[in-house]
Structure 1
Amino acid sequence: MTSLASRRQTPLPTAHQRMQMPLEQPDDSRGHIEQENSRLRRLGIDTGDEHVVFLQSDSPICSSEGFIARSRVELHVADRRLVATLEVVHGDLLAVDEAGLSESAWRALAPKPNERAYFSHAPTVESLAFVRRKIYGHELDSAQFQAVVSDIAGRRYSGIELAAFIAACANGRLSEPEVGYLTQAMVASGSRLHWPGAVIVDKHCVGGLPGNRTTPIVVSIATALGLVMPKTSSRAITSPAGTADTMEMLAPVDIGIEAMRRVVERTGGCIIWGGSVNFSPADDVLIRIERALGVDGEGQLVASVLSKKIAAGSTHVVIDIPVGPTAKVRSQQEADSLSALIQRVGSRLGLQVRTVLSDGRAPVGRGIGPALEAHDVMAVLARDKTAPADLRERSLLLAAQVIELAGLATLPIDAMAMARNTLDSGKALTQFLAICEAQGGLRTPGVAAFQHPVTTSLEGRVTCIDNRRLAQAAKLAGAPHSPLAGLTLDASLGSRVSKDQPLFTLHAQTQGELAYALEFVSRHPNIVEVGTP
């Protein structure tokens, strides 16, 4: 008989070691349920990115394992494992021998016909000790951040545990070295690309400004001049459209890492959805919780942005920071602090980073929403006389910054001339069409079926535009999940308007969504504020 003392000499495997151990078949002696008691069923329930499994309240699995609602469980299907959150179902939705899967869990497990699942408690997540350490105000080192981020990327944290980590790191609680460690850990959590050549450029905007869709134009100008720009972009987090949402109106963006390589090798650049290439996957998990909390801490923002640039193989990055009272960055002091942190952490990690503080007092362009922003992008590239001048000029400014940072020009005036000539000559449009073709073919954005102008009862000058409420109106109209929805601005900041003139026009794909947005607008009549003489 083995004594207690002798048993203690053999340490238990860590959670990470357990995940690497060969899969063992369960047996009743360990409290597991026979495979036939856990038939898999796709329920068609969308839980976002969270993996959820549903069991009937009378399921023998719950009683034998002691599972309750919100338990973290590990599913075993053949040689595959998945950690998920358990939800308990009352009623007759599921039989006692069935396990229902959410859409994300079903996609992750990809069960074959007649495959069965069996359950165990999820492995202990040892890196939570470091999260608790951070909650109490202690600094973490590189190895500790690596452990936390590895478990986040492996979906081993619950939503509550993710929220705890985010809160512990928010509001200036990350030191500059910690931001660097978090960035490096995020890079290590996913794929990473390397390209030939010493200069690989990129551009990013920290967000908070509706309609600021400069990326497709900047990529087209930069790559037309021979620069390499493998641009990955996000979908909307809290906005009516992300760059990937807008670009998807013009070409496929969910193309995978090998297709991305081919596009860049063929054209010098791409504009794709970052989620399709597994860059910094831990960041994608954290963003889902940040969106729900409405928290976007400075240190985590920097780590998010820089990790994806490094993972994409970039060496020279221009970062646009719009500053305005209703933008994400609201004051000059905030902008200066963020700019300095981005540059210092970027330098620490071997990136050449240039920040640009831009005007964030009002939206850019006329369209807000995926298709409407795509129409603006095409108008600028096609040199249409009706193209929004502010989107054109901001795109040229940022393209010039990329050109100068990459060393194609030594003076700002020369860089701007190169950018303007590339756009005005039609070379940027030709390049953009080539990128679209390489990504799967050019698409034509549609137009929403329902439109309604919002007019002013005053005569005067537009003195203020509330970016946040304008974006909210576009989202209530259906953007971005209804890609043709959103709004178009009919009056710009500083322009004169007459009584009954439209200030903006709501676009919706259904009458219900249009009514929803109009109700919000009626409660906030000064989204576009008109000052009288």
Structure 2
Amino acid sequence: MNAAAQTLQIRRVGIDTWRENVAYLHRDCPVARAAGFQALSKVEIHAKGQTILAVLNVVDDERIVSNCELGLSEDGFARLGVQEGHPASIAHAEPPGSIAALHRKINGERLGKEELAAIIRDVASARYSKIELAAFVVATNQYELDREEVLHLTEAMIAVGRRLDWQRQVGAELVVDKHCIGGIPGNRTSMLVVPIVAAHGLLCPKTSSRAITSPAGTADTMEQLARVDLSFETMVEIVRKTRACLAWGGTAELSPADDILISVERPLSIDSPGQMVASILSKKIAAGSTHLVLDIPVGSTAKVRSTGEAQRLKKLFEFVAGHLGLQLDVLLTDGRQPIGAGIGPVLEARDVMAVLQGDPAAPQDLREKSLQLAARMIEFDPAVRGGQGYEIARGILDSGRALAQMNAIIDAQGRRAEALPLGSLTHEVLAAQDGLLCELDNLRIARIARLAGAPQVPGAGILLLKKQGDAVARGEPLYRIHAQFGADLSFACAHAARDNGCRIGAR
């Protein structure tokens, strides 16, 4: 028998390799020796009629795998879908068919529709290693995609995932959504907009990615209130019942290639315009949206720094959306400072609920921006005249209908039994002088919140005690850092000591 075809017993190795299948063989494994497997080789694993591709790691410790076992990381084990101890065979994998196209993009060449489609099919099939994924992400960032490439990349991402058809599922022809391109800490408007427009009667199935480079995303924050890892079928049932959801898009298998690319973009802190457009629009179209309000914040420390840059990005979104039949309303908004008071999943969830509950201490900037965005979405309704949306949205929020709608969504998704606590370790960052707070640096504040542990530690983050334009006195707290672990607090405090992100000018 061919050594590569000999069987080994599957062993689940409790290592989270984050969207990458990793296999483990002992260095003395007869199969490994006979077939000439080397560390970081690409391998095919076959078991019970299933096949996955994985990157091979070679180990010397029999506590991880013995010489008759094939270890699989958590991702690989889940993807193969067999029990521990099940026999499996391993063989050398052929290189991805699209590798030549990848090399062309690395060399700065323009890719056609079929080449991008082939790359995304291989990405979605886990044929690319993290190294190859990183090469694609970096190449498309360094050699910016032209608008046709962005369109083809978006089409390819849609094609490899599932796609919701709300006309067939619930008879809805108008499906609205809202998205912000990110870069503004605390900007949890989606969690207010969704219940407002759903209470108005519009269908709003909101699927979100987890945070890429920010201290929290919508899915991270909603997870503090309810389950967000909803199956495709569960999400459909919830939307049928409540007209809305606030879910993580990964488990619903909407644009799965995007989730894999995000797993590389996150540690590289890369979010290029072309990848951003393809990521956002592929998710929205796959989720069945017909109408989308897009928020592009503009500010000196936002993702988009100038009005000119924002207008170019707006046109790119409109070009792709127009070719894909998505009606788009793009708003350029104030991105000069964080929105709300809390930065981090638990803190942001508290802000959202305070606004919904009509708490006088709730952040008014978060409330006002949410109303403006909800107004534009409500005006997609043919029965609403232009300019009426704001009053309708405010009435829904002030009457408590939005809160009732949010509670219905939370209950349908699976309410969290008890709220997670804030990080118990705190440090207040103090004003160094008297004056006016004239700048809150989004990037610095987000960085400090992430160093404190957000979003991986939900209770970590920053509570802003002052905002732009506020008068401050020397020694007065500007914000409070929350952390759960001493090391995280030390990292965050050290960074804040070098530059706390606050600029104070004369009164």
Q: Sort the TM-score into its range (normalised by shorter chain).
A: over 0.9
Aligned to 2:302: 327
Q: Count residues with an aligned counterpart.
A: 501
| Residue identity opposite 1:182 in structure 2 | L
Aligned to 1:19: none
Aligned ranges for residues 19-58 of structure 1 at < 5 Å? 28-29=1-2, 31-35=3-7, 38-58=8-28
| Superposed CA offset, 1:365-387 (max 9, x none) | 00000010000000001110000
Counterpart-to-counterpart distance in 2, 1:165 and 1:465: 34
| Superposed CA offset, 1:9-30 (max 9, x none) | xxxxxxxxxxxxxxxxxxx24x
Aligned to 1:128: 99
Aligned to 1:529: 503
Q: Secondary structure of the residue that 1:405 maps to in structure 2?
A: coil
More displaced stretch, 77-86 vs 55-64: 55-64
| Residue identity opposite 2:74 in structure 1 | E
Shift of 1:256: 0.8
Match of 2:402 among 428, 436, 439: 428
Q: Secondary structure of the residue that 2:77 maps to in structure 1?
A: helix
Q: Secondary structure of the residue that 1:521 maps to in structure 2?
A: helix
For structure 1, list consecutive stretches of 5 or more residues without a partner in the other structure. Answer: 1-27
Match of 2:472 among 494, 497, 504: 497
Q: CA, structure 1 residues 140+459, in 2 after alignment: closer, same or farther (shift >3 Å)?
A: same
Q: Secondary structure of the residue that 1:170 maps to in structure 2?
A: helix
Aligned to 2:122: 151
Match of 2:391 among 417, 429, 447: 417
Match of 1:518 among 487, 493, 501: 493
| Residue identity opposite 1:163 in structure 2 | A
Instruction: Determine if contact 2:347/2:461 at 8 Å carries over to the other structure.
Output: yes
Shift of 1:92: 4.0
Q: Secondary structure of the residue that 2:463 maps to in structure 1?
A: strand
Aligned ranges for residues 50-449 of structure 1 at < 5 Å? 50-93=20-63, 94-171=65-142, 173-196=144-167, 197-412=172-387, 414-441=388-415, 444-449=419-424
| Residue identity opposite 1:41 in structure 2 | R
Q: Secondary structure of the residue that 2:4 maps to in structure 1?
A: coil
| Residue identity opposite 1:382 in structure 2 | Q
Q: CA, structure 1 residues 390+408, in 2 after alignment: closer, same or farther (shift >3 Å)?
A: farther
| Superposed CA offset, 1:271-300 (max 9, x none) | 011111000000111111122322222111
| Residue identity opposite 2:31 in structure 1 | I
Shift of 1:193: 0.4
Q: Secondary structure of the residue that 1:99 maps to in structure 2?
A: strand
Q: CA, structure 1 residues 172+356, in 2 after alignment: closer, same or farther (shift >3 Å)?
A: farther
Counterpart-to-counterpart distance in 2, 1:396 and 1:368: 20
Identical-residue share of aligned pairs (%): 47
Shift of 1:481: 1.2
Q: Secondary structure of the residue that 1:453 maps to in structure 2?
A: strand
Q: State the TM-score, normalized to the length of structure 1.
A: 0.91
Q: State the TM-score, normalized to the length of structure 2.
A: 0.95
Shift of 1:150: 0.8
| Superposed CA offset, 1:128-170 (max 9, x none) | 1222233344433322222211111000012222222223322
| Residue identity opposite 1:151 in structure 2 | D
Aligned to 1:21: none
Instruction: Determine if contact 2:11/2:85 at 8 Å carries over to the other structure.
Output: no
Shift of 1:333: 1.7
Counterpart-to-counterpart distance in 2, 1:276 and 1:367: 27
| Residue identity opposite 1:32 in structure 2 | A
Shift of 1:437: 1.1
Q: Which has the larger radius of gyration?
A: 1
Counterpart-to-counterpart distance in 2, 1:520 and 1:418: 44
Counterpart-to-counterpart distance in 2, 1:222 and 1:368: 25
Counterpart-to-counterpart distance in 2, 1:46 and 1:40: 17
